[in-house]
Each structure stands twice: as C-alpha cells, then as structure tokens.
C-alpha cells in the first residue's frame, strides 16, 4: 500500500510516478479530498475529546471542593459533558467510515516504480540485460514441442486430465511424475545450500493474506475461492511465506530472512484465453519453488540482485539457455517496484519464455501487512522490504528440459545435475 502521508505531502510527484505505469489510470484527487475531510473530523473529534476530559476533571474538582451534587454549576457541566459525548458518538463512526473509504481507494493503487526502472508502456519496451548459455542451444531442427514429445514418451497426458478436471490441467505419469519430483527436490536443495530456510506453508489462505501481498482486491478473478469459507487456493507461495510475518515486529538482528517453499499453485489465467493452450506453460494448477526475502530497506537493492542469481543458478546448473529482462514501468507487476524476468529458451517456439520473475516490493507489501522491524537502541519501528521470485516454475522447467535435451532418436537426455535425483540418464 502507498503511504498516505507521502501522497498528501507530495501528490504531484506520486501522480507522476503512477503515470509512469499507465497515464491517466490512477487519480489521487478523491483520496486527497477524503483525507482532508477525515483530518478535519479528526481535529474536531480531538478537540471534543479534550473538552470531555476537561469536563470530567472539572466535575471531580468541583465535588472535591464541597459543592453539593445538585448544584446548578455541576448540572451545567454534566449537561455539557453529555452533549460532547453525543457529538463524539456521531463523529467517531463518520471518521471510521472515511478511513475505510480511503483504504478502499488506496488498495487498488499499485506500487511506485523505482527510480532505476526503465520507462516504457508495455513488454515491448522491456530491456534485455544479458544472455547465458548460447552454446547449449540445440541445433536439431526437428525438435518436437514438449507436449508432443511428452505424450509420445507416455509421461504427460492432457486428455485424461480434462476428464478428471477440465482443460489446462495435466496428468504426469511414470517418468514424468518422477522428473517433476526430481526438479522440485533439486531446486529446493540448491536454494537451501545458499541459505534459504525451507518452509511447507498452508496452500489454503485467507483474504487478509492475499490483500497483504497485493492479490486482493485487484486480482480476485485470477484466484480460486472456496465459497463456503474465507479461504483461497494459493496462487503462489509468495503469499503464505510473506504473511508468516504479518502484524509482527521483527528484531533487526533477525534480518535478512530467506525462505524457500515448494507448493502447488492455482490460477484461473483469466484474460489469457487463446494463449498457450497446449502444453505446460499456462496451466490452472502448476508446481513452483518460490523464494521470499524479508530484509532491511538498506539492503533490498543488493538483495534483489542476489535473488536473480539464485534463480539463474538453477538454469545454469541444468545447462538451459536463458536471458534476463528488466521490466519497464508499464509491465511491472502490481506489488513490484523493480523486476527482472528470467526467460528460458524453448526451441520449438524459437524464442525465450518467462520461467521466473524476481521482484523487489520495497515496503509496499509490508505496509499492507503491517510487517515492521526494530533496530536495537532506537525508538520506533520501520517497515521491512519484501522480495520474491520463482526458483523456478517447475512445469516450465520440465518443458525446457524436454525440448532442449531432446535427441534425434526421439529420446530425451537427463541433465547431469538431475541424474542423481532421477536415477536415470535418458527418458
């Protein structure tokens, strides 16, 4: 959530930053108007509350001085006190209602892009940072798309998944299930080795958790909700991992906090109809290893660079060609102020496809979730910075393995790093 005080004190600069995302989409005027009314009410309420307290003291002093309880001056004070209390009983709900209206307008506002995020209106203006592994790009011109080679090998089945669920689900069979499990274990082991603490969080999460990380209210249509409960299927482990610390004050000595988690993830993919209808790229249910950091604001920029490298290390260990893209202001995710996407090479498409998105959210999620830290010897608290990234999307990694390691004879070699997990060298 954006800082209301910052909006009030610097409305023009905040508006300009929001316009870098999308010109004309966000209007701060209603927030400023409501906040002005709320501040006026607050000042009035504070004044009446002070008078109420003063009347209470005067009554006590007057009685203590020996004035009879039925004296006119005491009755006048009591009458005034009752009038003040009546006024307060009217002002307090009005102020509460205005605060709720302001919050309802603040929640849909996205994070502000960082000063170093490149300007741009859409993904066409994203900036390529670097490529890795050109020497690993296969030269075989007859590579089959991953869904075709997977079905041919009998390790993926989409038709039976439709029978059980609906379209955009997959059933992994035999070596396909084993390969998915091997990838998950490999990714977790790699991240644990560089300092992440593994967590197995709930995958049913409440609305407050989704609101804290920015999925609600804006992306309600993207998520699956359990209608009988205030519970949703997790769209990403970013949500439960970040919310482990909601409404907490963390000692600065505990920072940075690194967590990794494997979870199934669930997304409706609303608005993506007609895109990637075949294969493992855009499913309603998919597995992912997620990386989340909770850090001191002073280190969040450097922590983002480390996060990108943590995700990239998986691709390098698997010898899968990839490139890193820095997202422009018009393509940033809702909660991010700066994002790097990792895109893996898919030979059948002849292009790179996103496999990880690594973002610095600054204090945006921390404000929504009230996650703070306290430095030893200092008064007060500050909001932490939160970061997240896929390390990696497992199904997309499998699709890259099935294509990049595909052999002319129709078999698929297993990356050397995975062989100890899969206990085989070829599919």
Which positions are catalytic?
A: 267, 282, 354, 357, 396
| CA gap 336, 349 in Å, rounded | 29
Tokens of 337: 């102020």
Complete DSSP assignment for 313-367 = HHHHHTT--EEEEEPPGGG--TT-SEEEEEEEEETTTTEEEEEEEEEE-TTHHHH
Q: What is the C-alpha to C-alpha distance for residues 260 and 246, in angstroms, rounded to an integer? A: 17
CB 130 within 8 A of CB 388: no
Token pair, residue 265, equals: 């993830």
Answer for the pair 415, 331: CB distance below 8 angstroms, yes or no: no
Instruction: Classify residue 74 by burial, with Cβ atoms within 10 Å: 0-12, 13-18, 19+.
Output: middle
208 exposed, middle or buried (CB, 10 Å; 0-12, 13-18, 19+)? middle
- Asked if 373 and 300 count as a contact pair (C-beta separation under 8 A), the reply is no
Residue 395 in contact with residue 286, Cβ under 8 Å? yes
Round to whole Å and give the CA distance between 392 and 40: 50
* Contact between residue 183 and residue 394 where contact means Cβ atoms under 8 Å apart: yes
In our burial notation (b when 16+ CB lie closer than 10 A, e otherwise), range 48-64 reads bbebbeebeeebeebee
- Number of CB atoms found within 10 A of residue 307's CB: 25
Six-digit token pair at 255? 């920072």
- How far is Cα 388 from Cα 247, in angstroms, rounded to an integer? 19
Strands (E), 167-284: 171-172, 197-198, 204-205, 225-226, 231-233, 249-251, 257-266
């Amino acid at each position: 959530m954006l800082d209301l005080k910052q909006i009030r004190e610097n409305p023009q600069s905040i508006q300009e930053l929001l316009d870098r995302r999308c010109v004309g989409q966000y209007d701060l005027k209603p927030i400023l108007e409501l906040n002005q009314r709320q501040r006026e009410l607050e000042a009035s309420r504070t004044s009446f509350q002070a008078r109420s307290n003063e009347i209470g003291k005067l009554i006590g002093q007057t009685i203590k001085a020996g004035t009879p309880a039925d004296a006119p001056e005491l009755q006048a004070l009591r009458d005034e006190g009752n009038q003040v209390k009546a006024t307060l009983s009217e002002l307090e709900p009005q102020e509460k209602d205005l605060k709720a209206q302001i919050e309802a307008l603040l929640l849909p506002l996205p994070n502000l892009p960082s000063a170093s995020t490149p300007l741009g209106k859409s993904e066409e203006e994203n900036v390529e940072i670097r490529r890795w592994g050109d020497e690993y790009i296969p030269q075989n011109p007859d590579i089959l798309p991953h869904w075709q080679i997977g079905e041919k090998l009998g390790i993926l089945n989409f038709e039976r998944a439709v029978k059980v669920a609906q379209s955009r689900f997959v059933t992994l069979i035999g070596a396909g299930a084993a390969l998915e499990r091997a990838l998950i274990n490999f990714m977790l082991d790699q991240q644990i080795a560089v300092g992440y603490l593994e967590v197995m969080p709930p995958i049913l999460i409440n609305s407050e958790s989704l609101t804290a990380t920015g999925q609600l209210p804006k992306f309600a249509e993207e998520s699956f909700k359990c209608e009988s409960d205030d519970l949703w299927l997790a769209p990403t482990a970013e949500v439960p991992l970040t919310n482990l610390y909601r409404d907490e004050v963390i000692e600065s000595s505990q920072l940075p906090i690194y967590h990794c988690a494997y979870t199934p993830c669930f997304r409706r993919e609303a608005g993506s109809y007609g895109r990637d209808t075949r294969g493992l790229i855009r499913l309603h249910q998919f597995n992912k290893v997620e990386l989340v950091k909770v850090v001191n604001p002073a280190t969040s920029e450097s922590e983002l660079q480390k996060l990108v490298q943590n995700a990239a290390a998986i691709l390098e260990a698997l010898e899968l060609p990839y490139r890193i893209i820095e997202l422009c202001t018009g393509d940033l995710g809702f909660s991010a102020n700066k994002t790097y996407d990792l895109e893996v090479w898919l030979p059948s498409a002849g292009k790179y496809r996103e496999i990880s998105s690594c973002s610095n959210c600054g204090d945006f999620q921390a404000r929504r979730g009230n996650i703070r830290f306290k430095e030893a010897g200092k008064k007060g608290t500050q909001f932490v910075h939160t970061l997240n990234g896929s390390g990696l999307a497992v199904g997309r990694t499998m699709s890259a393995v099935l294509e990049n390691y595909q052999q002319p004879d129709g078999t698929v070699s297993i990356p050397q790093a995975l062989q100890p997990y899969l206990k085989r060298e070829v599919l």
